[in-house]
Structure 1
């Protein structure tokens, strides 16, 4: 039996906050499956405190203004989310993704410092002569949970590739406490062993990504799979409450018992 949590939000459910998340791939130095960048959030964070997630955060007004100026031909919500993904990645990790121009470790460090000073991406792009490459970020999924007991985010997930990924990482200590690389299957094993905590959307996305050994495979799958908005619901299965997602979004695992689902 499906609950009403799949229906449009009621008046007592806060409006969704637009957000963007980016799944960054790099080649495994030892030759194994591609590795993904994962971020362990600070335990003091209200939403998903202590959870391991992909880099990302809220889309703000400055992201929308920049997207409107640089890509007026694109859907504004999607373009603004791509800008937010680039900005949040630089702020949280020190990595520069999704831009055209000269990028090296020293420039990335200077750009991150400039971003921390200004809080917006536009002056960073101007100062370092970078241009966003919107198509370098591949739309993978869109999640819009509407559970009343959690913060409501309408989050777009993107894929990006670093190739060799031979770069240093910088921890944003205000929100994160640890950054690391792991394959999707390794991250799932770490979660099963209790070494990390993953929220429901992260687990489902790791399961989906674990089917592909490299960025090319994940990218081809993303481009071939229509992106539909995913709003989990609760249904009863033999007297047990399960948290479920729709079956047409490309996910190999559609749910788990509510008792084991970590929703942030």
Structure 2
């Protein structure tokens, strides 16, 4: 038995009650493991951060005005701007050149990362480095837009990408994030269940979905074949307990979690 009449005070009853969503993008970077499921790159948010403090997340962040401008110069739209943001954020946060046509040298990559941290627009950074984007390397996976009326709302697009051959070692930026790990999706879920890592509701659902695949190729094929709609979780009472729920036709093996247990950022 389900009852969707439950209305948590933290959730908006209509779009009019919601603050304007902040466009964001995140990149799930895969690397092959010697034995077993592929590893994913995750970073731990600094405890001082307003959003998802102390949580393990995929590299990503807001879509900046410079990302929109660069997309416009390339004849693209908001979706292209999100791809650009995902590439930029991964360079900033982890020092990985994912989504570039040709990987830059180590010195050039370090200079690009430093320029981005200094606030130089990504288009200028690319031009100075003689680098070009290859946004087809990113595979759209999901789009989430929560409905918490008293919190920041991010309209986040998730992309999948493979770690480039001969990529440098990923390093944390020590600003927004304090450490990074490579681990399989199931390993992160297990560490969270054991209390050794914190993951917010969208990250958990996406890790559960990614844990179904034995390779990047399998995950990318699934992403291309699965319909994509904006995921906006809702509260619902199920069998006497309040749950946070998502649609059951978008590829997620787990579509609800007890509201009291869900970490929402």
Report the Cα offset of residue 123 of structure 1: 1.2
Residues matched between the structures, number: 259
Report the Cα offset of residue 150 of structure 1: 2.5
| CA shift digits 1:1-59 (9 cap, x unpaired) | 22565864224x2100000011000111x322110000100001111000000000001
Task: Write out aligned runs for 1:135-214 (5 A).
Answer: 135-163=136-164, 167-214=168-215
2:30 paired with 1:25: yes
Indicate conservation of the 8 Å contact 1:66/1:122, yes or no: yes
Q: 1:173 to 1:102 in 2, by over 3 A?
A: closer
Give ranges in structure 2 of 5+ residues lacking alignment: none
Q: Which runs of 4+ in 1 moved over 6 A?
A: none
CA RMSD of aligned residues (A): 1.6
Match of 2:70 in 1: 66
Secondary structure in 1 matching 2:149: coil
Question: Under a length normalisation based on structure 1, what TM-score does the superposition of the two structures give?
Answer: 0.93
Stretch of structure 1 that moved more, 44-53 or 97-106: 97-106
Report the Cα offset of residue 166 of structure 1: 5.0
Whole-Å Cα distance in 2 between the matches of residues 165 and 195 of structure 1?
31
Q: 1:63 to 1:166 in 2, by over 3 A?
A: closer
Give ranges in structure 1 of 5+ residues lacking alignment: none
| CA shift digits 1:167-223 (9 cap, x unpaired) | 222222221001110000111111011110000000000000001111101000000
Report the Cα offset of residue 243 of structure 1: 0.2
Report the Cα offset of residue 118 of structure 1: 3.5
Match of 1:216 in 2: 217
Report the Cα offset of residue 238 of structure 1: 1.7
Q: 1:101 to 1:164 in 2, by over 3 A?
A: closer
Match of 1:108 in 2: 109
| CA shift digits 1:119-138 (9 cap, x unpaired) | 32111110122111111110
Stretch of structure 1 that moved more, 157-166 or 135-144: 157-166
Question: Under a length normalisation based on structure 2, what TM-score does the superposition of the two structures give?
Answer: 0.93
